[in-house]
């Protein structure tokens, strides 16, 4: 079974939320209908991707170039996302003000050796060709601890594709609040961006990804997916499926 299912940060997080939810979504392939919050996040990510791709093609990017890229945003959705666009403007200004450049945006990576897959929102590069990963979030700022697993997965993916580049840091950028949460790998210097938290992602974080991945595969092989009951069950898309299975 391990060879048939490639894991991602979303799959791992879903399993940690509730193994039975993981089964419904990824084994039974019962598609969850997108809600307004999911669509909102998709819209902001697409805008960020369009801006980043335009800037990648430019030389000598400055505030005027960024303003021009922002002005080219053509959003026809139903949400009020003006302050998120302003947040993205600040984010891209920060990148170039720190003398970095955009390495890639919305890059799809498959790591066959670790059986992992993912799409990294944006990667930036410093003058030493070292890489920094950022993931966009549209919600309220939260502790970096909540995101260490996905940032660890992203580092594994990126270094599998670019073994000659060292990934020194990874962070979350909260578009609506212009807020950073950053974690450093190894002995990276903390000399970039203003963050309310700069922590370390250590070797045991990578060991945890491997441990939980193996646990997921064993669960699939056993075909025994427990239901993790809790307050959020009543909001779960799969509630009726779960209730019918255990009625």
Instruction: Name the average pLDDT for the chain.
Output: 90
Q: How far apart are alpha carbons 151 and 161 in whole angstroms? A: 16
What tokens appear for 197 in the block? 């938290």
In angstroms, the CA 15 to CA 213 distance is 10
* Contact call for residues 173 and 134 (beta carbons, < 8 A): yes
* 3-state SS class at 174: strand
Over residues 37-44, the mean pLDDT reads 90
Domains in the chain: boundaries:
1-33+207-247, 36-201
Distances 192 to 94, 100, 188 between C-alpha atoms, Å:
9, 10, 10
Read off the pLDDT of residues 200-222 as tens digits, 9 standing for 90 and up.
Answer: 888 899 999 999 999 999 999 99
Task: Answer whether residue 237 shows pLDDT above 80.
Answer: yes
| pLDDT attached to residue 174 | 96
Give the whole-angstrom CA distance, residue 1 versus residue 222.
10
**Residue 77 reports pLDDT greater than 50:** yes
Determine the topology of domain 36-201 in CATH: Lambda Exonuclease; Chain A (3.90.320)
Q: Is the CB of residue 17 less than 8 Å from the CB of residue 230? A: no
């Amino acid at each position: 079974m391990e060879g048939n299912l490639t894991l991602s940060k979303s799959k791992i997080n879903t399993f940690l939320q509730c193994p039975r939810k993981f089964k419904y979504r990824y084994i039974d392939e019962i598609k969850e209908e997108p809600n307004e919050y999911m669509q909102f996040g998709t819209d902001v990510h697409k805008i960020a991707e369009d801006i980043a791709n335009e800037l990648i093609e430019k030389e000598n990017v400055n505030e005027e170039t960024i303003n021009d890229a922002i002005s080219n945003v053509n959003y026809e959705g139903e949400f009020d996302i003006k302050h998120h666009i302003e947040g993205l403007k600040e984010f891209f200004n920060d990148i170039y003000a720190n003398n970095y450049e955009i390495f890639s945006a919305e890059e799809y990576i498959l790591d066959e050796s670790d059986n992992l897959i993912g799409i990294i929102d944006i990667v930036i590069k410093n003058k030493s060709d070292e890489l920094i990963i950022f993931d966009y979030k549209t919600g309220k700022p939260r502790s970096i601890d909540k995101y260490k697993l996905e940032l660890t997965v992203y580092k594994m993916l990126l270094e599998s594709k670019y073994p000659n580049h060292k990934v020194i840091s990874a962070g979350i950028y909260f578009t609506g609040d212009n807020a950073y949460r950053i974690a450093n790998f190894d002995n990276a210097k903390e000399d970039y961006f203003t963050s309310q938290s700069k922590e370390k992602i250590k070797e045991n974080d990578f060991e945890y990804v491997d441990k939980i991945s193996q646990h997921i595969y064993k669960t699939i092989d056993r075909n025994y997916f427990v239901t993790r009951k809790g307050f959020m069950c009543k909001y779960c898309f799969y509630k009726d499926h779960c209730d019918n299975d255990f009625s």
